[in-house]
Structure 1
């Protein structure tokens, strides 16, 4: 998870925190971003909650 309080350097490995599966939702609600790896290309990206649940 990436803490938005770190601003432009939130994507740096030193600023990442590890959380359990059951904690992810609470962190997303607080504005943290989830680090996810793509299935096809393996690229790692930070994903916001709105991108995970989708907007209708």
Structure 2
């Protein structure tokens, strides 16, 4: 997870925090960004809550 309080350097590895799967929702509600690896190119991206599509 990336803390938006770190501004332009929130994407740096040193500014990332690890969370359990059951904690992700709470962090997204606080405007943290989720670090995810792309399926096609393997590139890591920061994803906001509004970019996540839920398939229930």
The TM-score normalised by the length of structure 2 is 0.92
> Once superposed, which parts of structure 1, at least 4 consecutive aligned residues long, lie more than 6 Å away?
none
Residue in 2 that maps onto 1:8:
8
Matches within 5 A, 1:41-56: 41-53=41-53
Deviations 1:8-46 (A, max 9, x none): 000000000000000000000000000000111101100
Matches within 5 A, 1:11-50: 11-50=11-50
Aligned-residue RMSD, C-alpha:
1.1
Q: In structure 1, list runs of 5 or more residues that go unmatched.
A: none
The TM-score normalised by the length of structure 1 is 0.92
